[in-house]
Structure 1
Amino acid sequence: MLRLRHHILGGVSSLVIALPVVTSSLSLPVPALAAATEPALLSMKTDAKSGKIFVTLPSPDENGVYGRYLYASALRTGVGSARIRLDHGMLGPTRVLAFRKIGNKVAVIFENPKFTSRGDKDIREGVERSFPFSVICMLDMISTGPGGTVTADLTPFFLHDTMDIATSLNGGGLKLPDVLDSGAKGFHQLPSLGGVDLSSLKSFPENIEVEAVQTFASETPGPEMSLLSPDPGQVSFTVHHSLVKLPDAGFVPRKFDIRSGSHASPVYDFGAPLGEDVLLQYANRFRLVKIDPTAAKSRVVKPIVFYIDNAAPEPVRSALAEGVSWWNQAFEAAGFIDAFQVRILPPGVDPQDIRYNIVNWNERQTRSYSYGMGVIDPRTGEIIRGNVVLEGLRLRQDLMIFEALAGTAAENSGGANDAVRVSLARIRQLGVHEVGHAIGLIHNFMGSTQDRTSVMDYPGPRIGIKDGKIDLSDAYATGVGAWDKYMIDWLYGDPAPGKDPDVAAAQKADAIEKAGFRFGTDIDGRDPDTGLPGNSMWTDGADKPADLKHMLDVRQIALSNFGPGTLRKGEALSDLRRKFVPLWLLHRYNIEATAKIIGGVDFRYAVVGGVSAKPVPADAGLQKAAIDALLDALSPKVLAVSPALALELSFGVNGNEDPQYNTEIFRTAGSAVFDPLNATDVAAQITLNALLGPNRLERVHLQHGHDPAQPGLDYLLDRIASQIIARHSTEVEQRIAYRTLVTMASVRDNPKVTPDVALALSGALKTAADQLGTVHDTDADASWSHRMSALLKDQPRLAREAAKATRPAPTIPPGTPIGGGEDDWLTEEQPF
């Protein structure tokens, strides 16, 4: 999520204090937003005839700058697409905007505060000259006034594509897997089909809000846009613009600590003394000031207040309010009394008004991610506004998974296996998680390994087995965890006056190390090929082989009961194919977690002088157990679909196509006929991708060279040969063996694979080819063995097969976030 800032604006403060705390859908009186007792931030006037907005700027300073402001943008209307990240409520980057006279125009400039200097004026100006600024548009001067004030036509700025919508429409925004490619290209802005909504203009003492319609056109809009827009070749958006007063002095930046779970704003200080880093990182946090700074517990000058979008339906709205409110537990523990509050957005209040921290409710045609973002002062890391975008279909996907696990008979009963109850428990957790990003925190995927120490984990549901049946009574935790309380104290807690805040924060980080809390985040957790054991998403437990076995046991119980009982009355029986997929792949995240043990290294984010343990390789015995667990997950007892179930999954589909349904199901054997071997193939590929990750294989090779007691490549490949390749008497075993051998060839031919790994894989493939080629013709599987041997010996053909040039690997339906496309979100402008 993006950075937010929280110097709560003066106009906001009065509203925040006036409204009571709400955790239900109770309607509240609408604040008198238009009434302002102080002068507006800037004098703005509209002209209905020309459709323009004029601004009167104050007298320029010595450098010809008429004023500096924070600029933020947001989308009031989105695309409704998982593939194209242009969502209702999404924020653009926060900029420092300056008005400067150039010639006979007023230039709107985005300055570059990332590069600065603590030196004197000449040194600071030298740094500024070394890096670019951006002129966004040139405004016509309408008139001049006393003292050098000037009135200019601000309309062109509001019509400029400051959110870079065109790039996102053309697939150049969020990086997504190929399967999510929207196919759109050629979109460009049509200025003639845009305009400022003059009625949207609102002026307050510390912010100005206004909206404009922007339209983008393409002759090749792609299939995704054809499903979403009434005219896919011309797509329009309502873009919200906010000009905000620069925060008052007094905010104390918090120096980022690698041991903390915070996100940060980078600032390069070229005036740093030799021996100090040029790169400074300021942890992102709201401005939270105790009324009594000397008190251990005190109320605050301006609480952090989050509003739940009233567009969220009940009972989701109330569940979100309850979950988000859990953050007050952490602030109370840090010594802030009633400093974090949650309210339902009153009717008529604009959720895009920058004065409100908001949890937006957004819909898409297919499920995808939710995220927390923010308006953050790039100079200091101060959060000005928290902004969360939650996704509606994701909740329904969760509901579908719980129905597949426990059926629909108990739905809306309030019982342990009520899928609706469990889904609402999940949405509470999602709300508190995403707001956690908006108040400054990043992921901690280690939380689940220490019994739910953090809501900033991606928690898998805790699925118990009771008397041989599925038990969802404790699927999700309530409240924030111990790590979360530590982080809020580290991020927001300031020492008594006179003590260095960064020294105090470092001492708190030392204390959390000593307490044994674990922290692992995206850089070492999102890719299944990474090697930090325990740093995994969507799992519950210690991330050990035993957890994978437990999930396979859960899966087997659910599969044995799978059928019409997982559907609601009147639901199409073809929906069984959709509910089958997440159940069949229920163990996919435990596969990835178990694989991280193999060639894994247990390391910490640490500093000199800290108390973190040194990195150590994963235990050799545990690594061998993990290898065996993954090979067991490749066995027919796990990957074979019974003939009876395959027939039950073959009901026909009628009516209009549903893109969500099409994304979620396995490829069939033509029409609605279920292909059980494709299901085998997909599940096998997930395990093989984890087990044979190129970086994992290199780590296994290196660890054995350093310590012969650790399993090496020969050990791993011999186990694969004896447990998988040597067993091919049934069609399921043959499909698993085929997929294993082709994946080995694909990894071998990967240009990123090291020579040692490539040679080892080549040797294993040659051995397999020789052994398969010597099978006696009297054996039942002799024909398959000879054909497979011939393929392995035909290197050009094998290379084409491995490169998916002749026969693509099976399409794996999306999983995370129990949706797809959260890769590469750790840049400054992207959600976390």
Structure 2
Amino acid sequence: MLLLLVSSNLWAALPSVSDFTKDMTRSDGYLPFYYDAGSDKIYLLVNKPDTQMLLQTSLPQGVGSNDIGLDRGQLGLAHLIVFERHGNKVLMKELNTRYRSVSDNAAELASIDEAFADSVLAGFTAVAENGDNVLVDYTSYLLSDVHGISNRLTRAKQGSYKPDPSRSAVFLPRSKGFPKNTELESIVTFAGSNPGEYVKQVTPSAESITVHLHHSFVELPEPGYTPRAYHPFAGYGKQYYYDYATDITEPTEVKYIARHRLQKKDIDAKMSEPVEPIIYYLDPGIPEPVMSALKEGASWWNQAYEAIGYKDAFQVKVLPEGADPMDIRYNMINWVHRATRGWSYGYSVKDPRTGEIIKGNVTLGSLRVRQDFLIALGMTSPFDGEQTTDAQKEMALARIRQLSAHEVGHTLGLSHNFAASEDGRESVMDYPHPLISVKNDKIVLDDAYDTGMGKWDFHTIAYGYQDYASEEAEAAGLAALIESDREKGLEFKTDWDTRSAYHPSSNGHMWDNGNDPLDAFDEMAGIRSLALKNFGMNSIPDNASLSSLEDVLVPVYLSHRYQLEAVSKQIGGLDYEYERKGDYSKPKGVSFVAAERQKRALKQLLEATSPAFLRLPDEVLALIPPTAFGDDITREQFKSRMGLAFDPVSAAEAAANFSYSLLLHPERLNRVSWQASQSKGIPDVAEIAGRIFAMHWYDKKQADYGLNARLRMVALNAVIKAASSDELAPEAKLALNDALMELDEWLDDKSKLPGSELLHKQLGVYFETGSWPGAFEPKPLPPGSPI
């Protein structure tokens, strides 16, 4: 009784909110807050206890390094939270939305809540109260590492950092209250030691990294939104939860898609305005002509909404003066600068309960447009004193239009479709390679990138956003859409099957062109050859250092790399689609890529490792001096074994090893081994290894160009590396080692090659111990993606 009396007296001693905050500045909004300038503290008024709301964190001012990946405008995690008061404590608890019981039975609801853990994100001590409203000091959490920056820096091997409160502060100009959301922002300094290369590159003092962190408290959307069912052919990413109240005959996993809320004013009208349009806002800091290009590209989506009967449902505007891009109410297209080129991306803030998209947020890397311009310059060598670079600039702007549409598409809920380029560039959700052509023996850029929506884009928007009068009409309409568009020949492959070049899907490739990757490779190889033939002084502008020729040369020399990935996936490849039971009267299933295609693909891959393919014209080699004083040696250049000198041998080494990394990946060889045992004519693992050695070791007629000695060692090193992999199946390992023994016997008999005696001894060590004394790390290629 005495303990209860003491506790009650302490509780009663809390001051009122008005008394505690009498010298503070109040901001009204969804959750009102007070700022105490004397202590630089934010006090949050929790006036909605036990009410579910959204806490979204983000990064308004980032680090500026693509490698670290902490970009301006980047979204953090979205948490479904409630504030719970327990005595003098207030807990901010994240609710578990992954496991549910969708039931009217209170006991069943309680059982699931008690079975799986929630997460308390932060605990606060009450400092004042007015009835059920309680005031807490939010400052320490506002200045904490809610974005996981310390862990990100550690994973990137950039040093050990943690927030320093003495060098952090509330950022009041972007801390604001609105009726349905409250926005809080802080300046947070991370103090650290042992800074890495990337941190040093982008900070004035590498032991101190200062960023801005943003917290948004958001009222959950009003009732009336209905989740739409997921289908693997719909073109949307999967949202899901597990419902433990389902009948035992039904799966517990409930799948649905993420999308914006969109409704027609008149559902029966052929064309209707929406109740509320989807509006995206452009970062006002985007320069022209990029601003106009981004607006045009993003606006293409309105074509798809018009096709399903909406008038002006999708709009693109410049963010109004005074509006805050971090405000949860604005869908944003951000123009983000980094020290190096890197990925662009589109993410969304979603209601964790339903998948309803609340805010779309696009991040476009500003250096991407320059990479396309560089590719265009290298391909056309326009600096002849008369020709302009207008066509090259237009190609870069055409790419940025497509990129704008692509990333906005992600924020509408859409996934990549890497199979779209095989049907006439039918989606902005593909990764497009510029479609370069040759006319009158000259490379032209007239139709490098497509414009507007493709057939697949119309399909996805129809699936996600078409209105239906009832659940029954929706189920029937969506099923009919899937069936109709499959009959039209639309195909879909996304990251799951195509992100890595060694995955088995024979279609769906990144940065490729054409409906046949083998034909497209031959075309690209011809364009590459012509571009190298024309490469020279006209490839760089007046007054540029001659060593800068290397910067323009790299994307030309490696212009085949993306199509080569598509070629490699034919070897050991599989033909299949995302098929469900009942999609077809007779299942299409899965089949091997035809033997003749696999043979042709193998031939192309090996030709891409040959000295004839990888040589550079003597005229080009005579022009490129060591890097000029005042110029930088960057990651975008070839790695040299010759110091400052341009190294054409190591350039060939890197390109050849890239081909082998595709061909000799253990997963591919394991599939090849199985397929060859099941289908006559498919080259087996032994034949692949034999063809490699035949080209680089046994063929005395092979042209040299000063590259053969290195390329021989690259080939041998690659085969031994594959044979040594723990992931390689034993039968495939046996086949590679058998081919290596044949090479060893050849070296013993044909001791005319320099170093053959030593190689013979080294191979003996490998066979005896499994260790390869001649192992070396081939030089890597300069970065490829993104373009």
Q: Aligned Cα RMSD in Å?
A: 2.1
Q: 1:134 aligns with which of 96, 102, 119?
A: 119
> CA 1:300–1:410 in 2, change beyond 3 Å: closer, same or farther?
farther
Q: What is residue 544 of structure 2 aligned with on the other side? A: 571
Paired residue for 1:72? 56
Q: Is the 8 A contact 1:792 1:798 kept in 2?
A: no
Q: How does 1:167-566 map to 2 (within 5 A)?
A: 167-171=151-155, 182-409=156-383, 418-497=391-470, 499-566=472-539
Q: CA deviation at 1:327?
A: 0.5
Structure 1 residue 414 displacement after superposition: 8.0
Contact 1:293 1:496 in 2 (8 A): yes
CA distance in 1, matches of 2:41, 2:283: 31
State how far apart, in whole Å, the 1-side matches of 2:144 and 2:477 are.
Answer: 45
SS at match of 1:95: strand
Bigger shift: residues 541-550 or 233-242 = 541-550
The separation in 2 between residues aligned to 1:82 and 1:703, in whole angstroms, is 40
Specify whether residues 586 and 328 from structure 1 end up closer, same or farther in structure 2 by C-alpha distance, changes over 3 A only.
same
Shift of 1:41: 1.6
**Partner amino acid for 1:58?**
N
CA distance in 1, matches of 2:608, 2:52: 60
CA distance in 1, matches of 2:385, 2:485: 42
Deviation digits for residues 659-712 of structure 1 (CA, Å, limit 9, x no counterpart): xx5101112243431221111111111111111121111111111222224332
For 2:359 and 2:519, the matched residues in 1 are separated by: 43
For residues 769 and 779 of structure 2, what CA distance do their matches in structure 1 show?
17
* CA deviation map 1:84-107 (0-9, x unaligned): 110001000111121111231111
Match of 2:783 among 814, 817, 821: 814
Change (3 A) 1:597 1:558: same
Q: 1:414 touches 1:421 (CA, 8 Å); kept in 2? A: no
CA contact (8 A) 1:446 1:536 kept: yes
Match of 2:20 in 1: none
The answer to whether the 8 Å contact 1:188/1:217 transfers is yes
Q: Deviations over 1:295-335 (max 9, x none)?
A: 33321111111111111111111100000000101111122
Structure 1 distance, partners of 2:220, 2:442, is 59
Which letter maps to 1:380? T
Task: Specify the structure having the higher radius of gyration (Cα).
Answer: 2
Amino acid at match of 2:60: R
Residue 80 of structure 1 aligns to a residue whose secondary structure is coil
Provide the residue aligned with 2:710 in structure 1.
735
Cα deviation, residue 411, structure 1? 11
Following superposition, the deviation at residue 368 of structure 1 comes to: 0.8
What is the Cα deviation at residue 543 of structure 1? 4.0
Deviations for 1:407-456, whole angstroms, at most 9, x for unmatched residues?
A: 243999888x7211100000001100010001110110001111111110
SS for the counterpart of 1:76 is: strand
2:588 corresponds to 1:603? no
Equivalent-residue separation in structure 2 for 1:795 and 1:443 (angstroms): 44
2:38 alignment partner in structure 1 = 49
Report deviation, 1:123. Answer: 1.6
Question: Per-residue deviation at 1:59?
Answer: 5.8
What residue number does 1:157 align with?
Answer: 141
Distance in 2, matches of 1:652 and 1:52, equals 53
Retained in 2: the 8 A contact 1:543–1:590?
Answer: no
Once the 2 structures are TM-superposed, how far is the Cα of residue 571 of structure 1 from its aligned partner?
1.7
> Structure 1's 762 and 424: CA in aligned 2 closer, same or farther, altered over 3 A?
same
Matches within 5 A, 1:100-115: 100-115=84-99
User: In the alignment, does 2:770 pair up with 1:770?
Assistant: no
Residue 577 of structure 1 deviates from its aligned partner by 1.2
**One-letter amino acid of the counterpart of residue 235, structure 2:** G
Whole-Å separation in 1 of the counterparts to 2:264 and 2:768? 71
Q: Is the 8 A contact 2:762 2:772 kept in 1?
A: no
**For residues 732 and 56 of structure 1, what CA distance do their matches in structure 2 show?**
72
- The 3-state SS of whatever aligns with 1:738 is helix
Query: What's 2:660 paired with?
Result: 688
Q: Choose 732-741 or 311-320, whichever is displaced more.
A: 732-741
Q: Distance in 1 between matches of 2:532 and 2:636?
A: 18
| Structure-2 separation of matches of 1:274 and 1:280 | 14
The 1:486/1:768 distance shift into structure 2, 3 A limit, reads same
- Compute the displacement of 1:733 (Å): 2.6
Q: Which residue of structure 2 lines up, in the alignment, with residue 623 of structure 1? A: 598
Q: Identity, % of aligned pairs?
A: 35
Q: 1:402: Cα distance to partner?
A: 1.0
Could you say if the C-alpha distance between residues 411 and 488 of structure 1 is closer, same or farther in structure 2, counting changes exceeding 3 Å?
farther
1:452-494 Cα deviation digits (max 9, x unpaired): 1111000100010111111110000000100010000001113
Counterpart secondary structure, 2:127: strand
2:730 to 742, 746, 755: 755
Please identify runs of 4+ aligned residues in structure 1 that moved more than 3 A. Answer: 408-415, 728-731, 784-791, 796-802
Write the distance in 2 (CA, Å) between the matches of 1:628 and 1:402: 29
Structure 2 gap ranges (5+): 1-26
Quick check: 2:382–2:388 contact (8 Å CA) kept in 1?
Answer: no
CA distance in 2, matches of 1:761, 1:798: 16
How far the C-alpha of 1:745 sits from its partner, in A, is 0.5
Q: Deviations over 1:313-362 (max 9, x none)?
A: 11111100000000101111122211000112233321111111001000
Displacement of 1:280: 1.6
Instruction: After TM superposition, give the deviation of residue 500 of structure 1 in Å.
Output: 4.8
Q: Note the alpha carbon deviations across 1:374-395, whole angstroms, 9 max, x for none.
A: 1011111110000000001121
Q: Which residue identity does 2:697 align to in structure 1?
A: I
State the shift of 1:797 in Å.
Answer: 10
CA–CA distance in 1 between the matches of 2:643 and 2:238?
51
**Equivalent runs, 1:637-656 vs 2, <5 Å:** 637-655=612-630
For 1:639 and 1:444, the matched residues in 2 are separated by 32
Structure 1 gaps, min length 5: 1-35, 172-181, 819-832
TM, length-normalised to structure 1: 0.87
Which of 57, 80, 85 does residue 96 from structure 1 map onto? 80
Deviation (angstroms), 1:497: 3.3
Indicate the SS of the match to 2:77: coil
Quote the Cα distance in structure 1 between the aligned partners of 2:263 and 2:730.
57
Which digits, 9 at most, give the CA deviation of each residue in 1:35-65, with x for residues without a partner? x9xx8322222222222222333364xxxx2
Change (3 A) 1:616 1:550: same
Q: Does 1:118 align with 2:87?
A: no
Aligned mates of 1:541, 1:41 — CA distance in 2 = 53
